[in-house]
Structure 1
Amino acid sequence: MSAARTKRIVLAAGGTGGHMFPAQALAAELLQRGYRPVLITDKRGGGFGPELSDQVETYRIAAAGFAGGDIMAKVKSLLSLGIGYLQARRLLKRLQPEAVVGFGGYAALPTVMAAAHRHLRVILHEQNAVLGRTNRLLASKADIVATSFPEVRGLREADRDKAVLTGNPVRGQIAALGRKPYAVANAHGHLRLLVTGGSQGARVFNDLVPRAVALLPEPLRRRLMISQQVRGTDLEAVRQAYQGTHVQVELQSFFEDLPDRLKSAHLVICRSGASTVTELSTAGRPAILVPYPFAADDHQTANAQAFAKGGGGWVMPQSTLTPEALAERLNEVLSDTATLTGAANAARAFGQPDSAARLADLVTGVHRTNGDEKGHGHANGNRNGKEAAA
């Protein structure tokens, strides 16, 4: 058995796919390098699915969100987090990991806090352009804060020297798209538009997109092929809204083959969660981004603005978005092949296609600089050279 194979790396993640997908991608990379990734998640966590379930030890501990709710709800949440902390502390004592990687969200909080108190090496990964609440709380206890965007708001000045840009690791299916060229639309061929709302859903698109499409010039409408994810119970209503537009439309509440649809899309209309923006940049697909207005700390707006600043798309805030404004933007973008292609190239340039490898380098103590690899300052042993306390 190799020396690396005996080394465990604990991944603390749970909740939405935005936290779990990068953890899963890192686990796959670590397995390839001969390490033993271990997932510690909350009791509602689904794990990494069938692809990695036989290869990754998974443990579930107590955890709960503490934002919002009345005083009794907060007390219950704190008690749950306290129990999770004790469970995580016992697990870490038994597992003796080389490092603990936290991916944000309340499910990661007990494990990362316990790791810091045991003087283990701690790496935080932030998926958004605004540091999440859990990572803000834990940043002072971390050795490294791995970021997905060149600029991240919410990081204290004292912790800025810990920040290292790695990008946001994505699943293998999405990473493979980045190795395929953008399918440039010809002047008279089909234009494929993908409309998706992500995990938060986007019922606003159910009404807005069909009305905007109806306002487009008829020659452009006849070229359109639309795949739209329809959340809620509005499937038939949206189907009716497209009648008479001369547009080829496929509507589903969930696309099992989303990577394939993203591969063939010329333009995407979507929210701007971390996973969505990462997948767009990895695949090199231009997008009209409508940030979810109620996201914590308005992080979706920050994500969208960063992507648009890089030239990969256009931000249209929901509060001011009308069918007329969306139709104008669609007409402008879809009528100009050079605009679409330029945005696709910019989206791809914005991404970090080797983000899983970059993050794994940090976690295992290898740091890349200008293509070279060197040992990272925290590579070996526990943090600050201290032995783990019981």
Structure 2
Amino acid sequence: MKIMVAGGGTGGHLYPGLAVAAAFLRRHPDGSVVFVGTKTGIEARVVPEQGYPVETIRVEGLVGRGWMRQVRSLFVLPAAVVRAASIVGRHRPDVVLGVGGYAAGPVVLAARIKGVPIVIQEQNAVPGLTNRLLGRIAGRIAVAYRSANRWFPSGRTYLTGNPARSGLGSVERRDARRRFGLAPEAPTLFVLGGSRGARVLNENMAEAAGPLGRAVPGLQVIHQAGPGRNHEADALRGAYAKAGVPAVVLPFVEDMPAALSASDLVMARAGAATLSELALAGRPAVLVPYLFAAHGHQTANAREASTAGGAVVIDQDDLTLLRTVETLGALLSDSGRLNAMGRAMGRLARPDAADRVVDLLEEAVREARPRVEITSGPGTAASGGAGEPQARSENHPVMAVMAVTAVRGKV
């Protein structure tokens, strides 16, 4: 059995796909996985590092762009679908998994044209445009939050949770801190702004380093500044050093299990992958949703964690120096509250999410090719492992239908 994982662009889309790929290969050691993304997305670097082949297409997003760039994006779409159809035809996957991000669109459309079964996985509480449209042509939709159900058709939407990388929460705290050269018993804050970093968090913490260090004696910090943000990273190192706060400032944290295990508190954006990893690691958080996230999905994600009791939410417009120092200082000085928040965050975890998505992939192949026998491990779709279909509301399919119609004669 062969699966094709389409999409990416950010870690929030890519890492769930990688988690599903790993779960699929554990269940099907003789199977194979290929990714399709763009040359500019995080997948171009991370996927080969994880040992998977990756194909690329040229495609651009529509949401949050000026009208001229939107027009250009629409013009390149047919060529992107043609390129995607060539990739699908060459690899001949048994099923395509769309994980969101604009690279997923052309590949899933090409799969539909060629009759390849489609499953999409939606990570956020509010789906992005790509998955909203592709949900109309997908055979199965896996959602991480029940609140996403209303965007997708009934009978084909399954609550699976959000797949996340393995090993989260498995590193002993003292060992995790040792890996970063930090003191084994000191209060530790982990700051990350998603896979690309966040200028707002970087600038805020550079300003807050001194007052926060005085408010929390012994404070130490792990800070993911973001790739390419060298000026911001240098400013952070200088601010932490001036404040006498031991800090490890990195462009990208490769050892996420260790960073989460090392932390008493996490300050982060509210992307879907970040929240899933916080839940699996059982880490309390202060969440600052990205103000311009498409359809407000980070705010909706953060609300889910806050309602559960695992996070405090600060809107970006309210992220002042005083608010940061007061919030982080109070939490880092209250171990009882941190422990309670960590337990609440942990209750949001769905450690079997990746396996549930693999269940859906197997079901899709079995339905499309009923004579093909798929050998599955325990807890698979055959035993109802993917869960029951969820409720729905209508979503207009016009753009998806138009896109398929426009390129049908070109493939």
Q: If the TM-score is normalised by the length of the shorter chain, which range does it land in? A: 0.7 to 0.9
Larger strand proportion, structure 1 or 2? 1
Q: In 2, are the aligned partners of 1:42 and 1:61 still within 8 Å (CA)?
A: yes
| Deviation digits for residues 258-279 of structure 1 (CA, Å, limit 9, x no counterpart) | 4322211000111111221111
2:312 aligned partner: 314
1:9 aligned partner: 3
2:110 aligned partner: 114
CA distance in 1, matches of 2:8, 2:148: 22
User: What aligned pairs does 1:340-359 form with structure 2 within 5 A after superposition?
Assistant: 340-359=338-357
Q: In 2, are the aligned partners of 1:14 and 1:108 still within 8 Å (CA)?
A: yes
Higher RCO (Cα < 8 Å, 6 or more apart):
2
What TM-score, normalized to structure 1?
A: 0.81
What is the identity, as a one-letter code, of the residue corresponding to 2:216? R
Q: Does residue 177 of the first structure (1) align with residue 168 of the second (2)?
A: yes
Q: In 2, are the aligned partners of 1:13 and 1:103 still within 8 Å (CA)?
A: yes
Secondary structure at 2:84 match in 1: helix
1:226 aligned partner: 221
1:288 deviation in Å?
A: 0.5
Aligned-residue RMSD, C-alpha = 3.2
Q: Does residue 192 of the first structure (1) align with residue 192 of the second (2)?
A: no
2:407 aligned partner: none
User: What aligned pairs does 1:166-315 form with structure 2 within 5 A after superposition?
Assistant: 166-171=160-165, 175-179=166-170, 189-216=185-212, 218=214, 220-230=215-225, 231-242=229-240, 245-315=243-313
| Deviation digits for residues 85-121 of structure 1 (CA, Å, limit 9, x no counterpart) | 2233344345443321111121111111122233432
Q: Does residue 162 of the first structure (1) align with residue 176 of the second (2)?
A: no
CA distance in 1, matches of 2:385, 2:279: 29
| Deviation digits for residues 241-299 of structure 1 (CA, Å, limit 9, x no counterpart) | 34564433333344444432221100011111122111111211111011111111121
What is the identity, as a one-letter code, of the residue corresponding to 2:158? V
1:376 deviation in Å?
A: 7.9
1:51 aligned partner: 50
How many equivalent pairs are there? 359
CA distance in 2, matches of 1:250, 1:375: 41
Secondary structure at 2:302 match in 1: helix
In structure 2, stretches of 5+ residues that fail to align are 175-183, 364-375, 388-410
1:381 aligned partner: none
In structure 1, stretches of 5+ residues that fail to align are 1-6, 378-389
What TM-score, normalized to structure 2?
A: 0.77
| CA gap 1:241/1:146 in 2 versus in 1, 3 angstroms | same
2:17 aligned partner: 23
CA distance in 2, matches of 1:59, 1:236: 35
1:228 deviation in Å?
A: 2.3
1:138 deviation in Å?
A: 1.1
Secondary structure at 1:223 match in 2: coil
| CA gap 1:249/1:65 in 2 versus in 1, 3 angstroms | closer
2:370 aligned partner: none
| CA gap 1:110/1:153 in 2 versus in 1, 3 angstroms | same
Secondary structure at 2:93 match in 1: coil
What is the identity, as a one-letter code, of the residue corresponding to 1:373? S
| Identity %, equivalent residues | 36
Q: In 2, are the aligned partners of 1:222 and 1:246 still within 8 Å (CA)?
A: no
| CA gap 1:181/1:162 in 2 versus in 1, 3 angstroms | farther
1:39 deviation in Å?
A: 2.2
Greater shift, 254-263 or 305-314, is seen at: 254-263
Q: Does residue 33 of the first structure (1) align with residue 33 of the second (2)?
A: no
CA distance in 2, matches of 1:115, 1:370: 24
